[in-house]
């Protein structure tokens, strides 16, 4: 008994020290060597090192209490059931799960960086004479359940797919997982590559909510894991879109608080809704993770707060756009696949640019929705091309072609006070960009040109095409790129910001947006080699590719020879 307790105590003490010493930004590169730059920043923003875990083997609750006390840990007993670990042990040792009493505790530990963390203690009760001693000895030696864990606070399915794909690119291998109904949380396990420099190679992503559809794909055989349930969840995706859009359109996020709850009756009065119907909507949004429910009512989560008006990084406009015009046109996807005609044009009788331009409200909503994914832009101003341009003795000019409302150009000018800018856009969009950049204090450093791609200003040092090429087919892309190449002087650079389709067909946001662009816009997402061919056709060459948040990329392009003839 004493030897067993001492062994578990030393292991638990070592785990406590590990949790205190590590941080998210320091631990991720140790687990996945080569992970750095924008990808590391994205993972650090989206994941939080929450705990390290180990499995111990007390004979009962009294011994477990003594073990925690020896390690200076405090936790409420008895532990909650641990479904995932119990089932893993049952499979590994070919024992009925009902014979394995596995509990879970998470005593708090303060990290050296001040972040609140925990030690996750799985406890398999091994009473004397139970016949489980062999399992305890095996697991203590092999340490199968020892792992480090990261929380994913925003349980967005596309985000989860992107995180899993990023880890896979850096050598992570799927290693199980499960759904815990007691906590309403989904666990994804990975094994870090052999070259990992961390003491623990097993990695957990913990995501609040029920994500068994994504878990099935993670486990490798979605057809064998509740296919009817998985299909139902996929088929109800439209309900999710409309629930989020209705929540936003009613103004409920603006009437809610992120810190304290609000009763349904008060919310219904504030937004002019019926209480019973509003509560049905809110319960669904709790399941999605956009809203949390407590004794004092409903409150916004970090995910739901992104739907508030004026919130930092607000995605309100995107919810209204995807739940409005683009939702209606997506019903024409079958027509697009059958005929090749853009679904939006089939429904509305014109392309989305012209349709939105004729309606000031829709035009403003579309421009705001384009800025809603601005987290993709965060690392762009630090790109070496822009840093070098800012260091030029005579200063330099950045030309943002089809620069929308000026979000990206504004970030670049803020980061580099010595740069000046030129923004080219359609007439109605230019005025919105002018107002935005003047409010930001960049009005005297930026010129504005109303026009089309044929009007790309000459003489810039760095040209930017951000989320433009995916709007068009290959022929139009070549035309746009030739206009840029013709305007670019010798030595000028072009930075193209786009999502890039993965070469291996792995899950990605780009694959989802490829379908959207085909049905609603008439464009497409492309692989890097496809872009390289388009650049070459315009007398340009792809120099390198840099990842961005939200699975974006910067493609650095240079002119390879004399500018092309006028288009």
Per-residue burial over 432-469, b if 16 or more Cβ lie within 10 Å, else e, is bbbebbeebebeebbebeeeebeebbeebbbbbbbbbb
CB 554 within 8 A of CB 383: yes
Determine whether 470 is an active site residue.
yes
Give the residue from 45, 36, 46 showing the smallest Cα distance to 546.
36
Query: Which helix (H) or strand (E) covers residue 110, if one does?
Result: strand 108-110
Q: At 554, is the secondary structure helix, strand, or coil? A: strand
Kindly report the number of other CB atoms within 10 A of residue 60's CB atom. Answer: 13
Q: What whole-number distance in Å separates Cα of residue 376 and Cα of residue 57?
A: 46
Per-residue burial over 139-161, b if 16 or more Cβ lie within 10 Å, else e, is bbeeebbbbbbbbbebbbbbbbb
Q: What whole-number distance in Å separates Cα of residue 6 and Cα of residue 63?
A: 11
Which of the following is catalytic: 352, 470, 553, 556?
A: 470
CB 539 within 8 A of CB 482: yes
Q: Residue 313: which region, alpha, beta or left (left: phi > 0; alpha: psi -120 to 50)?
A: left
Q: What whole-number distance in Å separates Cα of residue 371 and Cα of residue 360?
A: 17
Kindly report the number of other CB atoms within 10 A of residue 261's CB atom. Answer: 18
Q: What whole-number distance in Å separates Cα of residue 498 and Cα of residue 551?
A: 9
Q: How many helices (H) and strands (E) does the chain have?
A: 26, 18
Q: How far is CA 178 from CA 90, 94, 202, in A?
A: 14, 18, 15
Q: What whole-number distance in Å separates Cα of residue 521 and Cα of residue 506?
A: 24
Q: What whole-number distance in Å separates Cα of residue 440 and Cα of residue 564?
A: 36
Active site residues: 470
């Amino acid at each position: 008994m004493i030897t067993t307790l001492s062994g578990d105590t030393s292991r638990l003490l070592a785990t406590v020290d590990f949790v205190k010493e590590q941080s998210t930004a320091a631990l991720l590169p140790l687990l996945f060597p080569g992970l750095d730059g924008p990808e590391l920043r994205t993972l650090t923003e989206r994941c939080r090192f929450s705990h390290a875990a180990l499995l111990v083997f007390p004979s009962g609750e009294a011994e477990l209490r003594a073990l925690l006390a020896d390690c200076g840990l405090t936790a409420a007993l008895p532990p909650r059931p641990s479904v995932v670990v119990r089932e893993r042990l049952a499979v590994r040792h070919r024992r009925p799960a009902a014979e394995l009493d596995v509990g879970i505790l998470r005593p708090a530990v303060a990290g050296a960086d001040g972040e609140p963390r925990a030690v996750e203690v799985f406890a398999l009760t091994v009473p004397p004479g139970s016949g489980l001693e062999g399992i305890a000895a095996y697991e203590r030696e092999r340490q199968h359940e020892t792992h480090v864990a990261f929380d994913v606070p925003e349980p967005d399915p596309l985000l989860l797919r992107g995180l899993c794909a990023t880890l896979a690119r850096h050598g992570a291998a799927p290693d199980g997982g499960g759904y815990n109904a007691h906590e309403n949380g989904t666990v994804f396990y990975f094994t870090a590559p052999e070259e990992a420099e961390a003491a623990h190679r097993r990695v957990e992503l913990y995501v609040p909510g029920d994500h068994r559809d994504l878990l099935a794909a993670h486990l490798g055989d979605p057809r064998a894991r509740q296919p009817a349930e998985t299909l139902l969840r996929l088929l109800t995706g439209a309900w999710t879109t409309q629930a989020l859009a209705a929540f936003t359109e009613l103004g409920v996020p603006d009437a809610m608080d992120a810190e304290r709850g609000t009763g349904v009756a008060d919310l219904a009065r504030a937004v002019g809704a019926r209480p019973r119907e509003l509560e049905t909507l809110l319960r669904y949004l709790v399941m999605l993770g956009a809203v949390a429910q407590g004794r004092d009512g409903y409150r916004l989560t970090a995910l739901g707060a992104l739907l508030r008006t004026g919130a930092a990084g607000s995605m309100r406009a995107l919810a209204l756009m995807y739940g409005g015009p683009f939702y209606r046109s997506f019903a024409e996807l079958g027509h697009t696949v059958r005929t090749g005609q853009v679904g939006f044009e089939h429904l509305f009788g014109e392309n989305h640019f012209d349709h939105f331009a004729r309606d000031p409200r829709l035009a403003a909503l579309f421009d705001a929705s384009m800025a809603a994914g601005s987290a993709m832009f965060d690392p762009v101003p630090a790109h070496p091309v822009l840093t070098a341009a800012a260091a030029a003795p005579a200063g330099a000019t950045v030309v943002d072609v089809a620069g929308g409302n000026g979000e990206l150009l504004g970030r670049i000018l803020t980061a580099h006070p010595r740069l000046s800018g030129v923004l080219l856009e359609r007439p109605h969009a230019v005025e919105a960009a002018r107002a935005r950049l003047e409010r930001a204090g960049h009005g005297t450093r930026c010129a504005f040109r109303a026009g089309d791609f044929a009007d790309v200003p000459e003489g810039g040092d760095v040209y930017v095409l951000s989320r433009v090429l995916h709007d068009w087919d290959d022929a139009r892309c070549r035309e746009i790129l030739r206009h840029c190449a013709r305007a670019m002087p010798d030595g000028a650079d072009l930075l193209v910001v786009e999502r890039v389709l993965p070469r291996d067909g792995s899950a990605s946001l780009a694959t989802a947006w490829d379908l959207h662009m085909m049905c609603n816009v008439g464009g497409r997402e492309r692989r890097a080699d496809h872009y390289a061919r388009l650049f070459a056709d315009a007398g340009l060459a792809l120099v390198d590719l840099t990842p961005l948040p939200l699975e974006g990329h910067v493609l650095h392009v240079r002119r390879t020879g004399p500018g092309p003839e006028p288009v």
